[in-house]
């Protein structure tokens, strides 16, 4: 018997940023640093929300501090993690 699962990297809401309808700003999220035990996990694909749009917060730039070590997702010397993302639903 086979099981479908997803290996995911979690985000957390940036609580230092004031956002919401009253402030007329999109909420902002960031990746949980990879050395945090809750940074990664497994999900049942049936539990995935498939309609979110994350916009990189280009103003804050990219970072390589959140995912330490080698990665098959990026080449050596490449930085592909933005510090923050705006959540557009």
What is the residue extent of each domain of the chain?
A: 6-88
Q: What is the DSSP string of 21-89?
A: TTTTB--EEEEPPTTSTTSEEEE-GGG-----EEEE-GGG-EESSSS-S--TTS-TT---EES-EEEE-
Q: Is the pTM of this model over 0.75?
A: yes
Query: What does the pLDDT look like over 26-60, one tens digit per residue?
Result: 999 999 988 899 999 999 988 887 778 999 999 99
CA dihedral (79, 85, 29, 50) positive or negative: negative
């Amino acid at each position: 018997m086979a099981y479908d699962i997803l290996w995911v990297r979690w985000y957390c809401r940036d609580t230092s940023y004031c956002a919401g309808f009253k402030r007329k700003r999109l909420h902002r999220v960031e990746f949980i640093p990879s050395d945090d035990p809750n940074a990664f996990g497994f999900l049942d694909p049936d539990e995935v929300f498939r309609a979110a749009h994350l916009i990189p917060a280009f103003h804050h730039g990219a970072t390589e501090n959140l995912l330490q070590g080698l990665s098959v997702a990026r080449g050596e010397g490449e930085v592909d993690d933005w510090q923050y993302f705006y959540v557009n639903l």
